[in-house]
């Protein structure tokens, strides 16, 4: 488990390789600065070395330019995947001062945002993947309040009931242990859960 602790956000990430494979085809990167939290989760097409090469290229580009806006970063990720296998990519950026969440995704990465009031936001994924071919990216923006939770995961995780899991009384450790218990090993799996104090 990878744990991030910051006064404005707490997050936990877990990653699991498909059974029989030596490398994970998923990659992620997250960082919290004094102004924002940003996370990218990339799921390389297929599994193994070439999937990992694609997903890690996208994450590396975000790690180098994380101060930029989500649309610019999605374009950079797309360019980085030219002549690679391709990847499903989701980026979440949370600005503490404006209390705005920005989100964009292409492919089968899922994102859930559970507000302190109990509202679950689940932006519908855009089908496809990034491969260097020019495309328009849909950027979604929505406000948040303190006490909200979020979950980002690759398609290796099959969740049926998200709302009860993200209830504010559950700690991030509890949620991550519940997610870990349903990892099947039939696909690469990555999840990132977070809470905004």
Q: 100-143 pLDDT, tens per residue?
A: 999 999 999 999 999 988 999 999 889 999 999 999 999 999 99
| pLDDT tens string 173-184 | 999 999 999 998
> For position 123, what pLDDT does the model report?
92
Q: Taking residues 1-29, what's their average pLDDT?
A: 96
> For position 175, what pLDDT does the model report?
97
The residues, any chain, with a CB within 8 Å of residue 48's CB and separated by 6 or more, are 21, 22, 23, 25
Q: What percent of the chain has pLDDT over 90?
A: 93
Q: Taking residues 22-37, what's their average pLDDT?
A: 97
The residues, any chain, with a CB within 8 Å of residue 34's CB and separated by 6 or more, are none
> For position 78, what pLDDT does the model report?
98
Q: Taking residues 24-50, what's their average pLDDT?
A: 97
The residues, any chain, with a CB within 8 Å of residue 92's CB and separated by 6 or more, are 37, 38, 39, 40, 101, 102, 103, 111, 150, 152
- Residue 117 domain boundaries: 2-196
> For position 125, what pLDDT does the model report?
80
CA distance 106 to 139: 11
> For position 94, what pLDDT does the model report?
98
> For position 105, what pLDDT does the model report?
98
Pull the structure tokens for residue 50.
């070439």
Q: Taking residues 155-180, what's their average pLDDT?
A: 94
* pLDDT at residue 160 is higher than 90: no
CATH (domain of 10) = 3.60.40.10
3-state secondary structure of 108: coil
Domain count, the chain: 1
Provide the whole-model pTM.
0.97
């Amino acid at each position: 488990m990878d744990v991030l602790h910051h006064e404005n956000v707490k997050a936990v990430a877990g990653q699991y390789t498909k059974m029989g494979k030596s490398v994970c085809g998923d990659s992620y990167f997250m960082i919290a600065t004094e102004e924002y939290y940003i996370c990218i989760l990339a799921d390389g097409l297929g599994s193994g070395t070439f999937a990992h090469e694609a997903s890690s290229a996208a994450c590396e580009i975000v790690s180098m330019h994380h101060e930029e806006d989500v649309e610019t970063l999605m374009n950079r990720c797309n360019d980085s995947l030219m002549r690679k296998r391709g990847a499903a990519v989701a980026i979440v950026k949370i600005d503490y001062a404006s209390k705005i969440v920005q989100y964009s995704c292409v492919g089968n990465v899922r994102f859930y945002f559970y507000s302190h009031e109990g509202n679950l936001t689940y932006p519908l994924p855009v089908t496809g993947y990034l491969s260097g071919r020019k495309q328009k990216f849909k950027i979604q923006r929505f406000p948040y309040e303190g006490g909200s939770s979020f979950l980002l995961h690759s398609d290796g995780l099959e969740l049926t009931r998200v709302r009860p899991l993200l209830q504010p009384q559950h700690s991030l450790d509890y949620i991550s242990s519940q997610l870990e218990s349903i990892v099947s090993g039939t696909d690469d799996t990555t999840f990132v859960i977070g809470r905004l104090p």
